[in-house]
């Protein structure tokens, strides 16, 4: 049969996506980055103060380690699905030194292609239709998105400023939690910067034991502007009902390297590996060896990193004062969470106004849930000069001096 015998169809049938996508939307920052790119293409100098992507490089010896090992021929093949031994050992020592947690590097640690990947792996391993998931509001949008993809039912729990952005455990205890399979938490918290102490973790673990559900603590912000590193796994008995995610993205300026980890009881890790091993073929070995080097960083590394973030945060406070926003100076992490003035209907109105008039982007807190609609989040991942420029631009539309101080 020749090509002339083929009929060209004028109507193309619609190929629909799987129903599991439901109302899962494209990630907010994926869309916003396209919008900002378009504005820049039009010649507008947009200052993006919203996204938490570190703008500084890893330590020099980490980069040198990567360069050295990438030249070795044998390092370019597929790697172990559970990470190389050197990286698992490094994570084990890191958790022992900084978090006071003893882990078995063979069976209780699973390196990940970034901790965001781990959220999907955990959800797909444990959740299915009929299960319920406790998701924080406000909270990282991926907790809801991946839970919905499994067919599980979302049950939001509200975080309130009056309760230091901690779950109301008394309220949860009074509810029927019999169908709950997973509770997502994040402490130090994103987006609010709130901290949790061991007393809170103990009470939460008791609630999980009583109701037989799994707590997953997402813990990538412990080293940023925070004097004390905490892990839910440091609580006796936590491994029976807890998993913890961590990452080198924020603590070691390695966001684009995609190096994270999951820690917890061996039976949990083993089941998650059953899923993960069907999704990827391991990370580039030189990146893993460089990550292992990063995990040996001395205290001085973290102090130097935080000195930079501390200077930037001072400028962010000035910017927020210009906008008449309210904020808690005790929050930690690489963001500042602030309440918008009452004259704005919500955070989107303020964010849109500032972007339109000054070409400065601030993250509207509403993307993290209804509890964040009256808040904005500013990332510390921009140069000090960028914050000063943002202050100057906002001052110009507010008829205020650009050197405003608290």
3-state helix, strand, coil in the chain (%, to 5): 45, 15, 40
Task: Tell me how far apart the alpha carbons of residues 115 and 246 are, in angstroms, rounded to a whole number.
Answer: 6
- Burial of residue 81 (number of CB atoms within 10 Å: 0-12, 13-18, 19+): middle
- Cβ neighbors of 12 (< 8 A, separation 6 or more) are none
Task: Tell me how far apart the alpha carbons of residues 157 and 108 are, in angstroms, rounded to a whole number.
Answer: 29
- Cβ neighbors of 385 (< 8 A, separation 6 or more) are none
CA-CA-CA-CA torsion sign (46, 51, 52, 57): negative
Task: Tell me how far apart the alpha carbons of residues 314 and 304 are, in angstroms, rounded to a whole number.
Answer: 16
Show the domains of the chain with their CATH numbers: 19-57+299-398 (3.90.1150.10), 60-68+75-294 (3.40.640.10)
Distance of CA 264 to the CA centre of its chain: 19
Beta-bridge partners for 242: 215
Q: Which residue has the tokens 């930037």?
A: 312
- Cβ neighbors of 403 (< 8 A, separation 6 or more) are none
Give the CA angle between residues 196, 178, 268 to the nearest 5°.
Answer: 65
pLDDT in tens, 111-151: 999 999 999 999 999 999 999 999 999 999 999 999 999 99
pLDDT for the residue numbered 217:
98
Task: Tell me how far apart the alpha carbons of residues 259 and 88 are, in angstroms, rounded to a whole number.
Answer: 12
Dihedrals φ, ψ of 185, to 5°?
Answer: -135, 165
Q: Which residue has the tokens 């009074």?
A: 174
35-54 burial, b for 16+ CB within 10 Å, e for fewer?
A: ebeebeeeeeebbbbbbbbb
Q: In this structure, what token pair is assigned to residue 110? A: 């699973």
- By the 8 A CB rule, do 251 and 58 touch? no
pLDDT for the residue numbered 400:
45
pLDDT for the residue numbered 14:
83
| Residue 337 DSSP SS3 | strand
Output the furthest CA–CA distance in the chain (Å, rounded): 80
Across the chain, which has 406 residues, the per-10-residue mean pLDDT values are 62 78 70 82 91 94 96 92 96 98 98 94 97 98 94 97 97 98 98 97 98 98 96 97 97 96 98 94 95 98 97 98 96 97 95 94 95 97 97 82 40
Q: How many CA atoms lie within 13 A of 113 on its CB side?
A: 16
| Residue 143 DSSP SS3 | helix
Task: Tell me how far apart the alpha carbons of residues 2 and 156 are, in angstroms, rounded to a whole number.
Answer: 60
pLDDT for the residue numbered 404:
42
Q: Which residue has the tokens 């919008």?
A: 35
Task: Tell me how far apart the alpha carbons of residues 256 and 242 are, in angstroms, rounded to a whole number.
Answer: 27
**Which pTM was predicted?**
0.91
Distances (CA, A) of 104 to 266, 269, 283, 301: 8, 11, 21, 26
Task: Tell me how far apart the alpha carbons of residues 137 and 147 are, in angstroms, rounded to a whole number.
Answer: 14
Distance of CA 370 to the CA centre of its chain: 18
CA nearest neighbour of 304 among 53, 60, 11: 60
Task: Tell me how far apart the alpha carbons of residues 311 and 293 are, in angstroms, rounded to a whole number.
Answer: 27
Q: Which residue has the tokens 């998701």?
A: 135
Beta-bridge partners for 339: 326, 375
């Amino acid at each position: 049969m020749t090509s002339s015998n083929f009929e060209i169809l004028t109507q193309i049938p619609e190929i629909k996506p799987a129903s599991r996508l439901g109302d899962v939307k494209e990630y907010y920052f994926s869309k916003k980055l396209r919008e900002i790119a378009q504005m820049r293409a039009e010649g507008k100098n947009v200052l993006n103060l919203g996204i938490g992507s570190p703008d500084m490089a890893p330590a020099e010896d980490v980069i040198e380690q990567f360069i050295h090992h990438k030249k070795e021929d044998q390092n370019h093949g597929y790697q172990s699905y559970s990470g190389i031994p050197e990286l698992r050992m490094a994570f084990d020592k890191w958790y022992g030194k900084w978090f006071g947690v003893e882990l078995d590097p063979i069976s209780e640690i699973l390196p990940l292609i970034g901790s965001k990947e781990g959220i999907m792996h955990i959800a797909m391993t444990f959740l299915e239709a009929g299960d319920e998931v406790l998701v924080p509001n406000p909270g990282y949008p991926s907790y809801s998105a991946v839970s919905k993809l499994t067919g599980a039912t979302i049950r939001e729990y509200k975080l309130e400023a009056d309760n230091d952005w901690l779950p109301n455990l008394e309220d949860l205890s009074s509810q029927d939690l019999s169908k709950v399979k997973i509770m997502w938490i994040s402490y130090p918290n994103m987006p609010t910067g709130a901290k949790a102490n061991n007393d809170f973790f103990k009470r939460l673990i008791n609630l999980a034991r009583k109701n037989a559900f799994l707590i997953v603590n997402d813990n990538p912000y412990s080293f940023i502007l925070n004097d004390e590193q905490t892990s839910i796994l440091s609580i006796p008995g936590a491994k029976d009902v807890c998993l913890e995610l961590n990452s080198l993205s924020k603590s070691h300026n390695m966001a684009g390297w995609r190096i994270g980890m999951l820690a917890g009881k061996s039976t949990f890790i083993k089941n998650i590996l059953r899923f993960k091993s069907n999704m990827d073929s391991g990370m580039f070995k030189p990146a893993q060896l460089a990550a292992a080097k990063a995990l040996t960083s001395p205290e001085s590394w973290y102090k130097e990193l935080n000195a930079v973030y501390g200077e930037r945060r001072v400028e962010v406070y000035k910017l927020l004062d210009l906008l008449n926003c309210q904020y808690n100076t005790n929050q930690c992490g690489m963001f500042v969470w602030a309440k918008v003035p009452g004259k704005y209907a919500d955070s989107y109105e303020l964010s849109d106004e500032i972007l339109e008039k000054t070409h400065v982007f601030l993250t509207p807190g509403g993307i993290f849930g209804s509890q964040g609609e009256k808040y904005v989040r500013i990332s510390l991942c921009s140069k000090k000069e960028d914050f000063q420029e943002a202050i100057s631009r906002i001052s110009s539309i507010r008829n205020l001096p650009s050197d405003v101080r608290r």
